[in-house]
């Protein structure tokens, strides 16, 4: 099973502001949907709250330290290890082979060192934010794909797929 992260990040590492995406890029949202559809997704509780509902067509796993937190159509984990075990089981049940981490900052920090792949939307701007993608050694990753959006948005961006070397 492959552990993959999917993230949109500005040049200065910003991934969020006030528990929201700090940009409006509809094609990036479509890309996110196409990459994650049918796969188990792991997210933190704040990321879940910002989305506001379970994402359809995916096994939603939410990591929270609150033992009484529940939500319908969501699997709840108290630790990252428990979330990964739930994701592995969901992959086995569906015949899939990729578990997706979708954020936020703390969840990325807990998983980037063990990730096999990163689907990275590089936003070509320095953005004000309060949530950041953890630093990672780009030399440890091989860029296997680059794709540009079909229509230009502001700010400009591109989709990269990075595999661990």
Q: Whole-angstrom Cα distance, residue 160 to residue 111?
A: 18
Phi, psi of 79 (to 5 degrees): -135, 160
pLDDT of the residue at 23: 94
Q: pLDDT tens digits, residue range 133-160? A: 999 999 999 999 999 988 777 789 999 9
Helix (H, G, I), strand (E, B) or coil at 1: coil
Q: Whole-angstrom Cα distance, residue 56 to residue 37?
A: 8
pLDDT of the residue at 109: 98
Domains of the chain in start order, with CATH, are: 2-164 (3.40.430.10)
Length of the chain: 165
38 secondary structure, DSSP code: T
Q: pLDDT tens digits, residue range 96-127? A: 999 999 999 999 999 999 999 999 999 999 99
Q: pLDDT tens digits, residue range 37-69? A: 999 999 999 999 999 999 999 999 999 999 999
């Amino acid at each position: 099973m492959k552990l993959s992260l999917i993230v949109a990040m500005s040049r200065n590492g910003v991934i969020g502001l006030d528990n929201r995406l700090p940009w409006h890029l509809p094609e990036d949202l479509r890309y996110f949907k196409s990459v994650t559809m049918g796969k188990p997704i792991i997210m933190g509780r704040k990321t879940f709250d910002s989305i506001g509902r379970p994402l359809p067509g995916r096994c939603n796993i939410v990591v929270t330290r609150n033992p009484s937190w529940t939500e319908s159509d969501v699997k709840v984990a108290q630790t990252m290890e428990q979330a990964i075990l739930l994701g592995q089981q969901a992959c086995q049940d569906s015949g899939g082979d990729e578990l997706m981490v979708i954020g936020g900052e703390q969840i990325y920090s807990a998983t980037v060192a063990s990730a096999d792949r990163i689907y990275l939307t590089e936003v070509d701007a320095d953005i004000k934010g309060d949530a950041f993608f953890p630093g990672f050694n780009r030399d440890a990753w091989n860029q296997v794909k680059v794709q540009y959006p079909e229509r230009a948005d502001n700010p400009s961006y591109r989709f990269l797929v990075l595999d661990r070397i």
